[in-house]
Amino acid sequence: MPDLYVFPGGRCDPTDYRLEFSGDLNPVVLQALKTTEGRRPLSVGRARALALAAVRELHEEAGVSIGTALSRPNAPLPFLPDLTNLRYMARAITPPGQPRRFDTRFFAVFADEAEIDPSEILESRELQDLQWIDVKDYSSLRIPEITAIILADMRTGLEADPFLPHERRVPFYFTRHRRFVRTLL
């Protein structure tokens, strides 16, 4: 999405299923990730791979590591991912008819819980002008509609409970019969 501010992200790679990790997803988050509407639930391995892909992509695109640093030269990542504090924020499927369709899961983590130093974010080959934004004020940025919706959901969730509990219901956005639909998983 050129010239738009977007969340770091990408696709789940086959290697994401085999990544080692130090801390697993909260059981409630894992169960919510496994939930699909009207289809067979995802396997534990697939659900975990989606979270690991998100952590890997965050590192590749923004230089942010969620986990413990590693010094093994042949490790797939320079850190051992820790999924413990990830919150599952939403799922969205791109409407039919789009040139590229996505079935996306959105995650959030508090910087202090993940021991992230916001000043260490770097430019990457994939993203430019990386920056932390205030979840309460992003009106000056050009962002996709779904990004604005997810940020609004996050703001609402934080207003309801500043700890953004893992147990919260997860919004699922999709199009049915040309209508934008929001349900809860």
Q: What's the CATH number where 144 sits?
A: 3.90.79
pLDDT at residue number 63: 85
| CB-based contact 127:61 (threshold 8 Å) | yes
Kindly state whether residue 66 falls inside one of the protein's structural domains.
yes
Go through 118-142 and write b for each residue having 16 or more CB atoms within 10 A of its CB, e for each that does not: eeebeeeeebeeeeeeeeeebeeee
Q: What is the pTM of this model?
A: 0.91
Q: Report residues of the chain scoring pLDDT below 50.
A: none
Q: Helices H, strands E: what count in the chain?
A: 3, 6
Kindly state whether residue 44 falls inside one of the protein's structural domains.
yes
* Mode of pairing for the β-strands spanning 103-108 and 179-184: unpaired
pLDDT at residue number 166: 96
Give start and end residues of each alpha helix (H) in the chain.
Answer: 27-34, 44-62, 145-160
Number of domains in the chain: 1
Phi and psi torsions of 173, nearest 5°: -110, 135
Tell me the per-residue pLDDT of 134-149, one tens digit each, with 9 for 90 and over: 888 888 889 989 999 9
Q: Which domain holds residue 100?
A: 14-184
27-34 helix and 44-62 helix, angle to the nearest 10 degrees: 100
Tell me the per-residue pLDDT of 102-117, one tens digit each, with 9 for 90 and over: 889 999 999 999 888 8
Kindly state whether residue 139 falls inside one of the protein's structural domains.
yes
